Amino acid sequence: MSSESEDDRVFKALANSRRRAMLDCLKDGPRTTGMLCETFPDMDRCTVMQHLKVLEDAELIVARREGRERWNHLNSLPIKHIHDRWISEYAAHAMNILDRLKSDLEG
């Protein structure tokens, strides 16, 4: 899979507020699918599973089976790659502009 399509999957997964909320839950540690269903009582289990599938396809979570339970673990590396590729470059550019503006104002 190319890097571009990986980025597309991550952006697609992060575009949904429910999936972002699920990732926020997983920051504190892995949770079973049942635990996530309890955290989001307004969604049925099938909907939670669909969201988890999108997150798994984007490699934002890693699912591990332990007996009858499916444990969902956060994988933050794809988000770091997005940050490194997109956010940090634009932040550095913005900081350069602010630095030039400060120099111009002081000069």
Domains of the chain as residue ranges with CATH:
3-75 (1.10.10.10)
Residue 67: band (very low, low, confident or very high) from pLDDT cuts 50, 70, 90: very high
Reported confidence tier of residue 1, pLDDT bands at 50, 70, 90: very low
Res. 2: pLDDT tops 60: no
Residues 52/37, Cβ–Cβ less than 8 Å: no
**If residue 29 lies in a helix (H) or strand (E), which one and from where to where?**
none
Cβ proximity of 33 and 67 under 8 Å: no
Four-point Cα dihedral 80, 62, 48, 37, nearest 10: -110
Average pLDDT over residues 22-40: 97
pLDDT at 43 over 60: yes
User: What secondary structure letter does DSSP report for 42?
Assistant: T
Continuous segment of H or E residues that includes residue 66: strand 61-66
| pLDDT at site 3 | 60
Give me the residues paired with residue 62 across strands: 73
**pTM score:** 0.79
Query: Does residue 89 surpass a pLDDT of 80?
Result: no
Residue labelled with tokens 């550019």: 93
Give mean pLDDT, residues 21-32.
97
Instruction: Give the pLDDT band (50/70/90) at residue 90.
Output: confident
